[in-house]
A and B are shown apart, each in its own frame.
Chain A
Amino acid sequence: MSAVFEQIFQVGFLAAIIRIATPLAFATLGEMFSERAGVLNLGIEGIMLLSAMTGFTATSLSGSLWLGVLAAVLTGMLMGALHALFTVALGLSQHVCGIGVTLFSSGLAYFLYRLIFGQQSVPPSIKGFQTLPIPVLSDIPVLGPAIFNQFTLVYMAILAIPLAAFVLYRTPWGLSVRMVGENPRAADSAGVSVIATRFQVVILGGALMGLAGAFLSMAQFNAFTFGVVSGRGWVAIALVVFGRWDPWRSAGAALLFAFVDALQLRMQASGLGHIPYEAFLMLPFIFTIVAMAFMSRNAVAPSALLKPFRREER
């Protein structure tokens, strides 16, 4: 048994957890922001896929990784703006629009990818991000190589968590976001533009979802495949609920899921255990559904979630 533990819990394992958690952290923070302002974005799965495609394509054509990241972020912002146009400006139902955005974005991603790269027997790949060890810190035993010898995007995700918490809880804009999500009527009376704030937040959320997509196709897999996102957007939806719409807890939830996922991959690779790996992949969804039942008693979800705001309606 101890040999098993040694095999599983080593530096590579810790590093793998951090790597798996990164796109989930970006996506979860993006979804969390959006929902804190009262807008559920079910477009996340498609937005991540389309961003992964545009990021990969931009890098593949230009040779520049950062240009790819920029393309992915801009894609995310654009699709966020589209979702906001439908749900915030026009006040259409958020869940149906979100499914529409996901269907549209993933369709567009498949279409454009096939148009640009054709059907190749070996999918084209790029030289993706390389790890960038941080001097001194990466020499810390165990934790150093696991956390401080990673891709730049990983460091960005780690910094994004306290930044998101700071913006949400300590800035006037963050206060507006929370007001708009809890009580848009009061926010409106206080002179906060509900429409403008929601637009800004959904676009910001889209940018973060874009980073998540960029990480998948440009750091984790270095290629775009049709299954590159494979449900990670839905995982993020679950993690936001599981993390009770809080940046720290949501990020923690992403880390916990990454741990379970990494464990599952290790067990599969080493041929250990007889539990099917799907059982692990199911866990975040089951946990979240159960958690929702318990949480509903002390309503922690933003009160105005799913409710469109129209000024003239009283």
Chain B
Amino acid sequence: MFRLEVRSSTPAWFNLALPLLAIAATLILCSGLIALAGAGVLDSYGVMFTASLGDSYAITETLVRAAPMIFTGLAVAVAFRAKFWNIGAEGQLLAGAVASCFVGAIPMPGPLAILLMAIAGAAAGAAVALVPATLRVRFKVDDVVSSLLLNSVIYYALMALIEGPWKDSFSGYPISPPIEDSANFPVLIEGTRLHLGVVVALIAAPLIWFLIARTTLGFRIRVTGENPEAARYGGIHVERVLLSTALLSGALAGLAGVGEVGGVHFQVMSDISPGYGYSGIVVAMLARLNPLGVVPAAIFLAAVMTGAEAMSRATGVPAFLSDVIQGTALLAMLVALLFTAYRIRRVGASS
């Protein structure tokens, strides 16, 4: 006989085991789709792996793709830690992209331009995230729905810009004018696209980990998320913590947009983010909301995305497999998290 028991604590190795379990389950489930497409499962996953992590150039491409998802993953992880349900990383990313593109188009020395782009992008993302947080703190408005709906507002605002005042009058394409050449992020390895923003993303993860795990603000964020009543009783101004969390979360999502403008596209177009904001939720959940876990989780999703394109060319399996993998991974991870709440225990026949 087996029985489900409520678990009070989870061993540390769960942090690694659960995401790996979820990813394994995802790859097994999605192999059905590869078989349906008439390709070899191991071949397809093999191509995916080699094309995304098989050589140094592939690795740089995967890292470039991972950078925005590291930022949105951190944004979501920080927010969810405080139980500020920020579903709006997508809109915050777009706001960051627009603001940094605006600044980057102003002629000025390169380093200054890059610094100001980052500040403007982070500020724009933070401002957007502040809206659902303020509505929640002041009016008790549900942050899930308000942050989600803001994504659409920001998207249409971006469209209005690139189809209106920003529209390229020469070509007629709905894209913003490019940023100044001097504002393009420096490429760190000749012959690749590995730009400054990728390194910043990789450094941001341990910094955010330090902030959450070792600082007073981090402590307040955690307590507010785990037990707001206790936090309040302990003298923590819960509302202020939620607003600070929103500012931090939004700034991180905004930086995702800054990196895409400064390091990859050098301008803003309607599809500048293929849903990196929503991918951030997948990344944060796979990472179990741990900022250090965000990096491997984002690299996994990025590898799936870059690998899927090569797999599609080689085997004919539609590259959209990466989208299915992303959704399945999130759902599988949520199910795997049940193991943190319950344990299955063998019960003897006598009892």
A interface residues with partner B (beta carbon < 8 Å) = 40, 42, 46, 86, 90, 92-93, 95-97, 99-108, 110-111, 114-115, 231, 234-235, 237-238, 241, 276, 278-279, 281-282, 285-286, 288-289, 292-293, 296-297, 301, 305-306
Contact = CB atoms under 8 A, between A and B. Distances in A.
A289 B163 CA distance: 25
Contacts of A106: 323, 327
A114 B316 CA distance: 10
A101 B327 contact: yes
A279 B160 contact: yes
A282 B87 contact: no
Given A92-B338, A237-B148, 19 more contacts: A92-B334, A93-B334, A95-B85, A95-B144, A99-B87, A105-B327, A107-B325, A111-B33, A111-B320, A234-B148, A278-B163, A279-B156, A285-B149, A285-B152, A289-B150, A289-B153, A296-B140, A297-B139, A301-B142
B314 interface: no
Contacts of B196: none
B285 interface: yes
A114 B318 contact: yes
A231 B154 CA distance: 13
A111 B324 CA distance: 8
A289 B141 CA distance: 9
Contacts of B145: 40, 237-238, 241, 292
A90 B325 CA distance: 21
Nearest to B275: A103
B275 to A, nearest CB: 8
B150 A306 contact: no
B87 A95 contact: yes
Interface residues of B, number: 49
A270 B159 CA distance: 20
Contacts of B330: 96, 99-100, 103-104
- The 9 A-B residue pairs with the shortest CB-CB distance in the complex, in nearest-first order: A104-B327, A107-B323, A103-B327, A107-B324, A110-B320, A278-B160, A114-B318, A100-B330, A278-B156
B324 to A, nearest CB: 4
B337 interface: yes
Contacts of B267: none
Nearest to A99: B281
